[in-house]
Amino acid sequence: MSLVVAPRDPLPFDPIMRAAELWEKRIGPSRTMAAVTSVMRAQQILLSAVDTALRPHGLTFARYEALVLLTFARTGKLPMRVMGERLQLHPTSVTNIVDRLQADGLARRTPHPTDRRATLVEITEAGSARLESATAAVTGIDFGLTGLSAEEETTLTDLLAKVRRSAGDFG
């Protein structure tokens, strides 16, 4: 399936490489600037593609990720604190995501059976059904990641993991 992300004709040149050439002449080595700018632009492209695929399902990527995470839990339920850790989000963001999922009937909060301070979140039947159709939509466009072979996708994941590890994202 072909994915059109930009509503305009493509530029006849790579603007990041053009900027790198100018950076090199005026500022200094441009390798890192070009790499970071490329990652940032790729992130915009991927987010746009995923958002476009999820929009008809009434989901954002953050809410989609939360539903996926809930289905990965052995019991189908997770404490909100654990959701925040796994999604690498601030507690306020998790609360907002769960609020929206609950308002849409896709998840529900339940009291923790042994810890009165904790609240569990579980996916509903409606949430599971929505997740199934949304997953078909995002996998149908390969999450917007086009132009790479399977081997290149693995290499990209490995390279970005190195960046994430060195930034303290995981040990």
Q: Do 70 and 120 fall into the same domain? A: yes
Q: Do 52 and 91 fall into the same domain? A: no
In the three-class reduction of DSSP (H, G, I as helix; E, B as strand; rest coil), residue 148 is classed as: coil
Number of domains into which the chain is organized: 2
Q: Is the pLDDT of residue 160 over 60?
A: yes
pLDDT at 8 (0 to 100): 76
Q: Is residue 18 part of a domain?
A: yes
Query: What distance, in Å, lies between the first and last C-alpha atoms of the chain?
Result: 37
Q: Which residues form the domain of 33?
A: 11-56
Q: Do 65 and 117 fall into the same domain? A: yes
Q: Is the pLDDT of residue 141 over 50?
A: yes
pLDDT at 135 (0 to 100): 98
Q: Do 21 and 68 fall into the same domain? A: no
> What distance in Å separates the CA atoms of residue 30 and residue 165, rounded to the nearest whole number?
23
Q: Do 52 and 69 fall into the same domain? A: no
Q: Is residue 148 part of a domain?
A: no
Asked if 26 contacts 18 with a C-beta cutoff of 8 angstroms, the reply is no
Q: Do 69 and 89 fall into the same domain? A: yes
pTM reported for the whole predicted model: 0.86
Read off the tokens for 157. 């994941």
Segment 55-59 shows an average pLDDT of 97
Q: Do 129 and 78 fall into the same domain? A: yes
Strand segments, DSSP code E, in 35-171 are 77-79, 107-111, 119-123
Segment 126-133 shows an average pLDDT of 97
pLDDT per residue as tens digits for the range 82-97 = 999 999 999 999 999 9
Q: Do 86 and 106 fall into the same domain? A: yes
Q: Do 52 and 66 fall into the same domain? A: no
Q: Is residue 170 part of a domain?
A: no
Q: Do 40 and 105 fall into the same domain? A: no
Q: Is the pLDDT of residue 52 over 90?
A: yes
Q: Do 37 and 85 fall into the same domain? A: no
Q: Where are the alpha helices (DSSP H) in 55-122?
A: 61-72, 80-87, 91-103
> What distance in Å separates the CA atoms of residue 58 and residue 52, rounded to the nearest whole number?
10
**In CATH, what number is assigned to the domain containing residue 87?**
1.10.10.10
Q: Is residue 140 part of a domain?
A: no
Q: Is residue 142 part of a domain?
A: no
Q: Is residue 6 part of a domain?
A: no
Q: Do 66 and 124 fall into the same domain? A: yes
Burial of 133 by CB count in 10 Å (0-12 exposed, 13-18 middle, 19+ buried)? exposed
